[in-house]
Amino acid sequence: MPYENLTTFFGKPVEDFQNGMEAWDFERAVPRFRVAYDSEDSVPAMLGSYAALPGAEATDALVIGYWQGDDSEGTSQAVVEALVSYAERFPNLRALFLGDIVSEENEISWINQSDLSALWPAFPQLEHMQVRGATGLALGRFEAPRLTALIVESGGLPRRVVGEALAAGAPELRHLELWLGTDEYGGDSTPADFADLFDGRLFPKLNTLALRDCAYADDLAAAVAAAPVLERVSTLDLSLGNLTDAGAEALIASPAVAKLSRLDLHHHFLTEATMTRLAALGPAVDLSEQQEPDEYAGEIYRNIAVSE
């Protein structure tokens, strides 16, 4: 579903860095590194050029775009290695987006990620970590003392990666966002995988809980609606999934949900009557993008927003 590249990131405009640039306004813009369709460049080489610029140590945010180039099997591994090798030039890096790739470049489930373990010790100042694509992805077991936002966008998030995210040593984490996706693309998590999180044993400062693009949204809603973690968060985001009235009933019945300040359910399969009740619940509720089920060969399909 991501159709458009970032225009801003970490509070600044995003601009493409191009090989040959001899200067960069580090205060003004966040550089994005990506290869064009006919380019001989590579993202690691561009990172090297950027890292060599005088003043590069002021960099606080980096965006990595399409890296594949002519290597059709190209994973993010070479990019990760390059980032780690230039880590000394980026001592103040606070935000990283690895995979600002739109569907015209590559569908989210075809993005070949890699093991990101080495990034965490290399960039201890990281506050915002965002990854698109879960194929081949590993977060590793990691400590991220300053991390406040962890976002993994995918069309199918393996429970192994869910487990890595939830095991993070991230005491400052405020925003946890996981796109769970479908089992057709490796999304094999279940509500039970979130038991520790829902019980409130993780991330004491959590403020936004976003479990999006979920193919078992009703079960997830039921599991989270009565969970102690809701006493802690002010925003619950179950958007992009296949929520129906069954899941909504659990949300409506929950006193903790009524006390949220925001409830994001956009892209859903709710009926009008249920939408009306949700809207009156208390939080600001996003009920946009109501979906109609597809019928194919006598079967009803309620598709999540992002799978391929």
Partner 1 sequence: MTGAGDSLTGIAPCVILGVAGDERTEGFSAALVRAGHPPAPVLDYGRFIEAPDRLSALFPEGRGLLRIDSPGGDPGIRRALLRLGGEDDAEDAGGATRLRPDHGLQRGLTAALQLARRVVPPGVALTHEAETVALFYDKRACHAAMAAHGLPVPRALPPAGSFDALVEAMRAAGLTRVFVKPRFGSGAAGIAALTVARDGIVADSAAEHVPGAGPGVLHHSHRLRRYRGAEAVALIDTILAQDAHVEQWVPKAALDGGPCDLRVLVVDGEPAHSVLRKARGPITNLDLGGRRGEADALRALAPPAVWEAMRADCRRFARLFPQPFHVALDVALTVGLRRHVFFEANAFGDLIRRVRHEGLDPYEWQVARLPGWIAARRPVGLAA
Query: Is residue 59 helix, strand or coil?
Result: coil
Q: Which is nearer to partner 1, 13 or 228 (CB)?
A: 13
Q: Show the site string, 9-28: x = touches partner 1 by CB under 8 A, - = not.
A: -------x------------
C-alpha to C-alpha distance for 49 and 181, rounded to whole angstroms: 36
Q: Which residues pair with 237 in a beta bridge?
A: 210, 264
Q: Which is nearer to partner 1, 38 or 292 (CB)?
A: 38
Q: Binding residues for partner 1, how many (CB under 8 A)?
A: 26
* Structure token digits, residue 248: 């909504």
Q: Which is nearer to partner 1, 134 or 236 (CB)?
A: 134
C-alpha to C-alpha distance for 135 and 185, rounded to whole angstroms: 8
Q: Could you tell me the smallest distance in angstroms from the CB atom of residue 109 to partner 1?
A: 8
**Given 42, 112, 182, 274, the residue binding partner 1 (CB under 8 A):** 112
CA dihedral (265, 4, 156, 167) in degrees, to 10, reads -80
What percent of the chain is helix, strand and coil (3-state, nearest 5)? 25, 25, 50
Binding to partner 1 (CB under 8 A) within 166-205 occurs at none
Query: Under the criterion CB under 8 A, does residue 4 sit at the interface with partner 1?
Result: yes
**Given 42, 43, 51, 105, the residue binding partner 1 (CB under 8 A):** 105
C-alpha to C-alpha distance for 263 and 257, rounded to whole angstroms: 8
Q: Could you tell me the smallest distance in angstroms from the CB atom of residue 148 to partner 1?
A: 28
Let me know: does 68 contact 35? Beta carbons within 8 Å. yes
What letters, b where the CB count within 10 A reaches 16 and e where it falls short, cover 210-249?
bbbbbbbbbbbbbbbbebebbeebebbbbbbbbbbbebbb
Query: Under the criterion CB under 8 A, does residue 3 sit at the interface with partner 1?
Result: yes
Q: Which is nearer to partner 1, 27 or 37 (CB)?
A: 37
Cβ neighbours for 59, distance < 8 A, ≥ 6 positions apart: 26, 31, 89, 90, 92, 93
Q: Could you tell me the smallest distance in angstroms from the CB atom of residue 36 to partner 1?
A: 6
What radius of gyration do the chain's Cα atoms show?
20
Binding to partner 1 (CB under 8 A) within 34-93 occurs at 34, 36-38, 66, 68-73
Query: Under the criterion CB under 8 A, does residue 291 sit at the interface with partner 1?
Result: no
Q: Could you tell me the smallest distance in angstroms from the CB atom of residue 149 to partner 1?
A: 23
Binding to partner 1 (CB under 8 A) within 131-150 occurs at 135
Interface contacts to partner 1, rule CB under 8 A:
3-5, 16, 34, 36-38, 66, 68-73, 102-107, 109-110, 112, 135, 308
